[in-house]
Amino acid sequence: MAGSMIEPLEGRTLMSVTLTPAQKSAVNKLYTDLHAVESRSGISESQVLTLVADVKTALRTAHKPSTASTNKLITDTKHAYADKNISLSEGLKLLGDAKSVMSSAGVSGHMQNRIIADATSIVISSHFNAADSKTLFNDLVAVANTFKH
């Protein structure tokens, strides 16, 4: 894609959600990293803004996810990335782990499905490499860790 279509989040209102400074920082890092991937892929501004808006919506009512579900997602992700190639079965396992983390944080099933659909759309449109995937995964974990207790 020639030239970036994504503009910085600062000063933009995606929806009226009050974020803590830690949440704002984590969401902005996710946005910045998505922007870096977008600049060399087929990801659209609309896809990124939709994911960011849905994550912000989930943050409105979510609480800190369970340590067990978060640790399982982290462990399974490390194993899946060990060979730099995620198989279909590993991807489905990680998807289940991500849903478990969101469930344990009180994110509704509807919002879980929206966030997963948003992320899937971005993955399909992108030319992610293992480093991109790991960076974005770490960004999403950082967002999850900002949930209120």
4 SS3 class: coil
Measured distance CA(68)–CA(83) in Å, rounded: 24
pLDDT value at residue 13: 46
More confident residue, 46 or 14: 46
- How does DSSP assign 31-62, residue by residue? HHHHHHHHTTSS--HHHHHHHHHHHHHHHHH-
Mean pLDDT of 11-35: 74
What is the token pair recorded at 64? Answer: 């800190």
pTM: 0.63
Position 2 pLDDT exceeds 90:
no
